[in-house]
Amino acid sequence: MDFKEKIFQSITYIASICTIVFLFGIILSLFFEGLPVLNFTSIKDFLFSKDWYPTMFPPKFGILSLIAGSFVVTLGALVISIPLGLGAAIYISEIANKRVKEILKPLIELLAGIPSVVYGLFGMAFLSPFLIKVFQVPIGLNAFNASIILGIMVVPIISSMSEDALSTVPNSLREASLALGANKWETIMKVVLPAAKSGVISSIILGFGRAIGETMVVLMVAGGAAQIPDSIFDPVRPMPATVAAEMGETAIGTPHFHALFGIAIILFIITFISILIIEFVVMRRKK
């Protein structure tokens, strides 16, 4: 083979290997800086203690409240985004005519393009006072507020991926169902949705991963209290918010610094598992 050909091919190899290097760089830096937290606390206390007092003396590094905070806002977000996102996908793919479709699709894409910090601003400066007025709660920056904003952010993810899945369902299935006397709604619920099941589930898992990792919104609107919430109107301190808020204020190499990287390891593992599940679901569909 020509020399130039070899060089060119090698460049494409090196570029591809860079992606693997970056991924390993991320994993290594998390574990290198995060694992030392186990010198200061046991893995059991780290994961299952509610006490997050990183600046007290002696400090306590239990992240259960932070994990709880993350899951509360993420599940809250999914409660909002699954009906809205899936509803939008079904409407666009099955019901809307071409013109409506061409208006709705970019509108929903627009939601995906809005920077998260602007969503955070909206939650802080507009939604929070609104919630205080409407629900008569003392604090507007709480798990409920964060769930609403995160929920809206996840809508375009669920809707675009579900819509892709719905549009790959062959028309012959719909026609067969309609020919057998089923109406539009029955066809959607009993034929089209089940046929697109794996794509829809993947979209929800992807939305979960996006919501649990989203930082700016929970940093700005979740309230910041490291506690296991009694109600949805309690302020919480999800994992990404803790890392973002405290990293700037802690000195490099302190136990607190390592604990924040430890939180990031947990966050990474959760998102990585959700990615693996999607791969698995998608793989199964392809078979």
Partner 1 sequence: MTNIRKLKSSIGINLLRLFILLTVFFLFLFLYVIFAKGGSVVSWEFLTESPKRFMTEGGIYPAIVGTFWLTVLSIGFALPLGIFTAIFMTSYAKPYWLVRIVRVAINTLAGVPSIIYGLFGLTVFVRLFNFGVSLLSGALTLGVLALPVIINASEEAIRSVPGDFRDASLALGATKRQTILRVILPTALPNILTGAIISIGRVAGETAPIMFTAATFYTRLLPKSAMDEVMALPYHIYALMTEGAHPAKQVPMAYGTAVVLLALVLLVSTVAIVIRYRIRKKRKW
61 φ, ψ (degrees, to nearest 5): -115, 60
Q: How far is the CB of 48 from partner 1 (least distance, A)?
A: 23
Q: Which of 58, 138, 170, 248 binds partner 1 (CB under 8 A)?
A: 248
Letters for 151-180 (x = contact with partner 1 by CB under 8 A, - = none) are -x--x-------------------------
Containing H/E element for 61? strand 60-61
The residue among 254 and 271 lying less far from partner 1, judged by its C-beta, is 271
Closest CA to 88 of 66, 111, 68: 111
Q: How many CA atoms lie within 13 A of 28 on its CB side?
A: 6
Residues 108-147 that bind partner 1 (CB under 8 A): 108-111, 113-122, 124-126
Q: How far is the CB of 96 from partner 1 (least distance, A)?
A: 9
Residue 141 burial (CB count, 10 A): 21
Show the DSSP H helices in 56-187 as ranges.
64-90, 98-113, 116-122, 128-135, 143-167, 171-179, 184-187
Instruction: Report how far Cα 136 is from the mean position of its chain's Cα atoms.
Output: 29
Token pair 């939601």 is found at: 111
Q: Which of 133, 184, 190, 197 binds partner 1 (CB under 8 A)?
A: 184
Find out whether the peptide bond into 58 is cis, omega within 30 degrees of 0: yes
Q: Which of 271, 277, 281, 285 binds partner 1 (CB under 8 A)?
A: 271
The residue among 109 and 231 lying less far from partner 1, judged by its C-beta, is 109
Residue 189 has which token pair?
């619920």
Our finding on whether 106 is near partner 1 (CB under 8 A) is yes
Residues 206-225 that bind partner 1 (CB under 8 A): 206, 209-210, 212-216, 219-220
Residues 45-104 that bind partner 1 (CB under 8 A): 83-84, 87-88, 90-92, 95, 104
Applying CB under 8 A, the site for partner 1 has a residue count of: 86
Q: How far is the CB of 259 from partner 1 (least distance, A)?
A: 12
**Which one of 47-55, 56-64, 162-170, 264-272 is the stretch in contact with partner 1 (CB under 8 A)?**
264-272
Our finding on whether 36 is near partner 1 (CB under 8 A) is no
Q: How far is the CB of 163 from partner 1 (least distance, A)?
A: 12
User: Are 147 and 73 in contact, with CB atoms under 8 Å apart?
Assistant: yes
Query: Cα(first)–Cα(last) distance of the chain, in Å?
Result: 37
